[in-house]
């Protein structure tokens, strides 16, 4: 018998660490090649990590809730022989493809190539399984599990209000409202919630944006009545956001400086040839910004399909792509305006508030129109106010006269 040390692999996209959310095996368990052994949370998503070794789990090197750097020992497996030669595994990891895990695209997935990813609720037994007389709680979000753990709430006692009985944050919050169920709340009324790996990454990115980017904000009220009417006349066609995305793409072609990044080392503005349109989405793990890749090559219908796809993926905890420009529909939260923070290393973000019936003057006559407020935050290093105003008017004019704008696209 020999010990094989499985180190936290490179999970791709430049990530250097991950938080251990849940162990799927215990010390002494027998594991096979490609079996998921631990669930980790990165700044991008939740990942079930499979082992490249078969044998008996000798040591779990990190407790749940701890943060582990890439390359640090994760698991030691006692085995007669390595299921995947360590040097081969390390060579693939050093290649930096992001697909270095067995079953995630490597050539070593032979013994278990037919494995199908199991739902997390049915994954391998955790170190402290519930007694057989209890049902297994259906919980997907590690944030919900942590909230319950810190508040002393037994998930086995909850009935989930989500789809299929899924236990969601609101279920735990209701349980915490019972005084005896919340030991995490001190006498002074404080409750401390640790920053997860995802929240730490968000905090770092936003702090960097605020500290590095000299941002400026401009806004304008837009009459969206004709766009609203166009959308209603073409139901069940593309949604309003798809049309707005189409107009934004056209404006970025006209003002490419806002589809760029700043190379501070060389003191250059780098304009990007492809528009990857980021969309701010409130997902299960917080605010994330998935992207519609090469949005400039899509029709309005194509944009609508991709927007729905990436939005649903983000809400389920999977983040897709990195955008070059961000579109934020904060109107979905029933607010009218926002001075948003630029998603570094992007240089601008465009947001829309809710569309409301408001009094508006048209051709000298007071009437009721559907009005939305549009705000634009941009990096003042790449542009002065004139270009920002031009970009804003390009999008606003298209919204106010959508038929004419579409005909020119």
Does 265 share its domain with 142? no
Strand partners, 47: 40
* Same domain flag for 188 and 223: no
Residues 251 and 342 in one domain: yes
DSSP H or E stretch at residue 392: helix 385-400
Domain containing 27: what range?
2-122
Considering the domain architecture, whether residues 222 and 304 belong to the same structural domain is answered as yes
Q: What confidence tens digit (pLDDT) does each residue in 87-143 have?
A: 444 444 444 333 334 333 333 333 333 333 444 443 334 444 444 445 556 765 556
Burial 213-232 (b: 16+ CB within 10 A, else e): bebeeebeebbbbbbbebbe
Give residue-wise pLDDT tens across range 261-295.
Answer: 999 999 999 999 999 999 999 877 778 899 999 99
224 and 88 within one domain: no
Shared domain check, 84 and 110: yes
Whole-angstrom distance, CA of residue 151 vs CA of residue 4: 38
61 is catalytic: no
pLDDT tens track for 195-215 = 776 777 788 888 989 999 999
Query: Considering 134, 156, 309, 380, which one is annotated as catalytic?
Result: 380
Query: In this structure, what token pair is assigned to residue 148?
Result: 């319950």
Per the structure, how many domains does the chain have? 3
pTM score over 0.75: no
Based on the fold, state whether residues 161 and 261 are members of the same structural domain. no
Tell me: do 148 and 251 sit in the same domain.
no
- Residue 209 covered by a domain: no
Determine the pLDDT at residue 146. Answer: 67
All residues at 6 or more sequence positions from 177 whose CB lies less than 8 Å from its CB, including other chains: none
Q: Are residues 79 and 143 in the same domain?
A: no
* Of the residues 88, 122, 156, the one at which a domain ends: 122
pLDDT of 181 > 90? The answer is no
At which of 122, 144, 159 does a domain end?
A: 122
Instruction: Express as a percent the part of the chain with pLDDT over 90.
Output: 50
Q: Stretch 45-59: mean pLDDT, rounded? A: 86
Q: Residue 163 maps to which CATH number?
A: 4.10.320.10
Residue 54 lies in a domain: yes
- Report how far residue 258's alpha carbon sits from residue 326's, in angstroms, rounded to the nearest whole number: 10
């Amino acid at each position: 018998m020999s010990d094989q040390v499985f180190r936290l692999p490179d999970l791709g996209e430049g990530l250097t660490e991950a938080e251990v959310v849940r162990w799927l095996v215990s010390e002494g368990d027998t594991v096979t090649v490609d079996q998921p052994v631990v669930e980790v949370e990165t700044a991008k998503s939740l990942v079930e990590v499979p082992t490249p070794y078969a044998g008996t789990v000798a040591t779990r090197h990190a407790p749940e809730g701890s943060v582990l750097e890439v390359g640090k020992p994760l698991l030691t497996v006692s085995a007669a022989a390595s299921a995947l030669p360590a040097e081969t595994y390390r060579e693939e990891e050093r290649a930096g493809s992001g697909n270095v895990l067995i079953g995630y695209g490597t050539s070593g997935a032979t013994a278990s190539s037919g494995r199908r990813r199991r739902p997390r609720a049915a994954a391998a037994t955790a170190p402290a399984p519930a007694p057989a007389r209890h049902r297994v709680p259906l919980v997907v979000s590690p944030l919900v599990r942590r909230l319950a753990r810190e508040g002393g709430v037994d998930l086995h006692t909850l009935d989930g209000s989500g789809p299929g009985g899924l236990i969601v944050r609101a279920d735990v919050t209701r349980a915490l409202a019972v005084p005896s169920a919340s030991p995490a709340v001190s006498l002074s009324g404080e409750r401390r919630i640790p920053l997860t790996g995802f929240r730490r990454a968000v905090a770092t990115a936003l702090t960097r944006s605020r500290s590095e980017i000299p941002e400026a904000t401009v806004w304008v009220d837009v009459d969206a009545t004709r766009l609203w009417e166009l959308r209603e006349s073409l139901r069940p066609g593309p949604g309003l956001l798809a049309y707005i995305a189409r107009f934004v793409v056209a404006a970025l072609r006209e003002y490419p400086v806002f589809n760029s990044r700043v190379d501070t080392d060389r003191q250059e503005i780098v304009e990007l040839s492809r528009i990857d349109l980021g969309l701010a989405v409130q997902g299960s793990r917080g605010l994330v910004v998935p992207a519609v890749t090469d949005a400039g090559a899509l029709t309005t219908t194509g944009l609508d399909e991709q927007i729905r796809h990436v939005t649903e993926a983000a809400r389920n905890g999977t983040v897709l792509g990195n955008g070059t420009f961000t579109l934020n529909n904060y109107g979905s939260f029933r607010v009218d305006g926002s001075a948003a923070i630029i998603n570094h290393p992007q240089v601008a973000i465009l947001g829309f508030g809710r569309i409301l019936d408001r009094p508006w003057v048209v051709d000298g006559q007071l009437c009721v129109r559907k009005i939305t407020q549009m705000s634009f935050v941009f990096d003042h290093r790449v542009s002065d106010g004139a270009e920002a105003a031009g970009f804003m008017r390009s999008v606003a004019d298209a919204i106010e006269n959508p038929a004419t704008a579409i005909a020119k696209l």
